[in-house]
Amino acid sequence: MLSSFKPTWMVQSIYHISPEKLKKHGINTILTDLDNTLIPWNNATGTEKVIKWIDKLHSYGIKVIVVSNNDPKRVRVAVKDLQLPFVSHALKPLGIGIKKTLKSYHLKKNQVVMVGDQLMTDIWAANNCGIASIWVKPLKSSDMLPTKINRYFEAIVYKMLQNKYSDLKWKEDID
């Protein structure tokens, strides 16, 4: 049960994830959470920094697809500047949104990774689908209300994970 919440990697932020390392693992597509992973939850659109990161990934032939629980209106505005394909109402931690994305974009499970700032939604959803995952620290330390509740459980689960898996540590990039 606890393994359902175990991320494959823990990385400081999405900006730390390098295309070189992803390629090494045969990953050609990043499925990314939106709020507090790609852009701060209380920001309408993306920053210069995130645009640069996405450009770099694209230059390596790595696709980036947003998989968000948020509503289509919010997601559409947020990704407009980033020009990314997206799936909204993804219903994480259920695997529905991720599975839909894999099917629509003809993606193989071993060639994708889910990136997100929440164990209780993003990482759990990735494990429910049998795909790799990267847990990142949230861009903003504050959260919207439903996330605040998730963070309470996340803290408990994280403690249990730390006790069980001594190799689970925050890193500067994926291994």
Residues that bind Mg ion (CB under 5 A): 33, 35-37, 117
The distance of closest approach from Cβ of residue 108 to Mg ion in the complex, given in angstroms and rounded to an integer, is 25
Smallest separation (angstroms) from Mg ion to the CB of 56: 22
DSSP character string of the chain: -GGGG--SEEES-GGG--HHHHHHTT--EEEE--BTTTB-TT-SS--HHHHHHHHHHHHTT-EEEEE-SS-HHHHHHHHHTTT--EE-S--TTSSHHHHHHHHHTT--GGGEEEEES-IIIIIHHHHHHT-EEEEE--SSS---HHHHHHHHHHHHHHHHHHHH-TT---BSS--
Q: Which residue lies nearer to Mg ion by CB, 29 or 36?
A: 36
Task: Check: CB of residue 64 under 8 Å from CB of residue 34.
Answer: no
The nearest distance, CB 118 to Mg ion, in angstroms, is 5
CB of 37: closest distance to Mg ion in angstroms?
5
Which of residues 23 and 89 has its CB atom nearest to Mg ion in the complex? 89
Whose Cβ is closer to Mg ion: residue 29's or residue 121's? Answer: 121
Q: Which CB atom, from 75 or from 131, has the smaller least distance to Mg ion?
A: 75
CB of 137 to Mg ion, least distance (A): 11
Query: With respect to Mg ion, which residue has the nearer C-beta, 119 or 174?
Result: 119
